[in-house]
Amino acid sequence: MRRGIRGTLATALVAGLALAASGCGSGGDGGGAAGGELSGTVTFWDTSNDAEKATYRKLAEGFQKEHPKVHVAYVNVPFGDANAKFKNAAGGGDGAGAPDVMRTDVAWVADFANLGYLAPLDGTPALDDTGDYLPQAVGSTRFHGKTYAAPQVIDTLALFYNKKLLEDAGVPVPKTFAELGAAARKIKAKTGATALYLRGDDPYWFLPYLYGEGGDMVDAAHKKVTVDNAAGVRAFRTIKQLVESKAAVTDATDGQENQLKALKDGTVAMAVDGPWDIEGARAGKAFQDKGNLGVAPVPGGSTAQGAPQGGWDLSVYAGSKNLRAAYAFVKYMSSAQVQRETTDKLSLLPTRTSVYNDPAVKRNEMVAFFKPAVDRAVQRPWIAEGNSLFEPLKVQMNKVLTGAATPEQAAKAVGDAYRKLLKDYT
């Protein structure tokens, strides 16, 4: 029910975007005389990872070929630093040091817009051919009836697995976390590998366990906190049991790098990850034969199967001194052509329907899997406090995994924290 309603709303949002984008005027200043040739500098903060940033830099600089009087100042900002760095720059007096355009995590858009840091894009050239966007990619770009970003990449989580290790252990790809736990002892005995690397440092990776029990963080439509109901308790219990039974190894520090290394080295047979790590995983010794990397749906819980919808949007700083060029840059970076190149080089999923009809994109094996996974992914609540919902989860995940809290205590603590954060939620 929830997913169906959200899909309908997203479709309506696409229609709204198309109408808004048909309006006249760029709403910008700087970048040359109105209607004239673009000029000046566009500073672009790219939050892509080490395996992606060279491609994004080349694509960003390609904008200069179309607009030779515009200089793109490319800056790669580590994902972990980007949110706070942008807020500090955008909120610091005259906004000196803030970028003109930022590659923004989908969970940040509503927060930044609520603070007044993003320029509305309705009626600007930034929103080009909006009817081509996937309906489910639009939700995160909207806040209080306005559009504050252009969808650029959509993603979700899936189960990456080492085909040889599972074959040597004689176990099938698990469809549930219960099946994974049951197969773990055989995997260890036959191959020496631990069954799963469980990300204990990042609460985003908790969501498949929560969705797998039929739960969610909040019910935004009815303004209710739901993370501390029975489904939330079961989700915490699942991660606790996987680690205590030695079916999974976890690390509360740098889980991103440690998980990828464990997968690449073959010390774990499986990991829940996203399309951004496909090329990174294939660079490891365990996948010298690239065909050895398998991708399957995230295992389900006791009642459901689901992974969170993620991705990246392109947003414009409200205080930009070169809005016309910034709008044009967003149009370029979210265009079908750039998305095709991104998919070709990085296997990331585009947000435009037309790109999926491209023969080369259709042949991309990871797109072939992840597109259906994205279609089934669960949209998160696109509220200003959405990103803040993760910190209480992170704290309690660590407590459960280290034995400092029971699943019941952890779920209650997260629910209490949410009610303090969301004053009008019950």
> Domain-by-domain residue ranges, the chain?
2-154+311-376, 158-308+385-421
Under the banding of pLDDT at 50, 70 and 90, the label for residue 411 is very high
CA distances from 274 to 279, 315, 346, 412 (A): 11, 22, 12, 29
Residue-wise pLDDT tens digits, 256-314 = 899 999 999 999 999 999 988 888 899 999 999 999 999 998 999 999 988 999 999 99
Q: Comparing 2-154+311-376 with 158-308+385-421, is the CATH topology the same?
A: yes
Angle at 8 between CA 6 and CA 12, to 5 degrees: 115
**DSSP at 424:** T
Per-residue model confidence (pLDDT) at position 375? 85
Per-residue model confidence (pLDDT) at position 28? 42
Per-position DSSP letters for 186-225, written without gaps between them: HHHHHHS-EEEEEE-S-GGGGHHHHHHTT--SEETTTTEE
Which helix (H) or strand (E) covers residue 271, if one does?
strand 268-273
Distance CA 247, CA 276 (A): 25
Closest CA to 275 of 109, 106, 153, 151: 153
Q: What is the mean pLDDT of residues 332-356?
A: 95
Per-residue model confidence (pLDDT) at position 174? 97
Per-residue model confidence (pLDDT) at position 183? 97
Per-residue model confidence (pLDDT) at position 132? 96
Whether residue 417 is predicted with pLDDT greater than 90 in this model: the reply is: yes
Under the banding of pLDDT at 50, 70 and 90, the label for residue 426 is confident
Which residue type occupies 323?
Answer: L
Residue-wise pLDDT tens digits, 221-234 = 999 999 999 999 99
* CATH of the domain spanning 158-308+385-421: 3.40.190.10
Q: Does domain 2-154+311-376 have CATH number 3.40.190.10?
A: yes
H helical segments located in 22-108:
53-66, 79-90
What residues pair up with 102 in beta bridges, in sequence order?
45, 315
Under the banding of pLDDT at 50, 70 and 90, the label for residue 19 is very low
Q: What is the mean pLDDT of residues 167-177?
A: 97
163 close to 367: Cβ distance less than 8 angstroms: no
149 close to 118: Cβ distance less than 8 angstroms: yes
Per-residue model confidence (pLDDT) at position 276? 83
Q: What is the mean pLDDT of residues 17-32?
A: 42
Per-residue model confidence (pLDDT) at position 365? 84
Distance CA 79, CA 356 (A): 27
Residue-wise pLDDT tens digits, 234-257 = 999 999 999 999 999 998 777 889
Q: Is 378 helix (H, G, I), strand (E, B) or coil?
A: strand
Whether residue 25 is predicted with pLDDT greater than 50 in this model: the reply is: no
Return mean pLDDT, the chain.
90
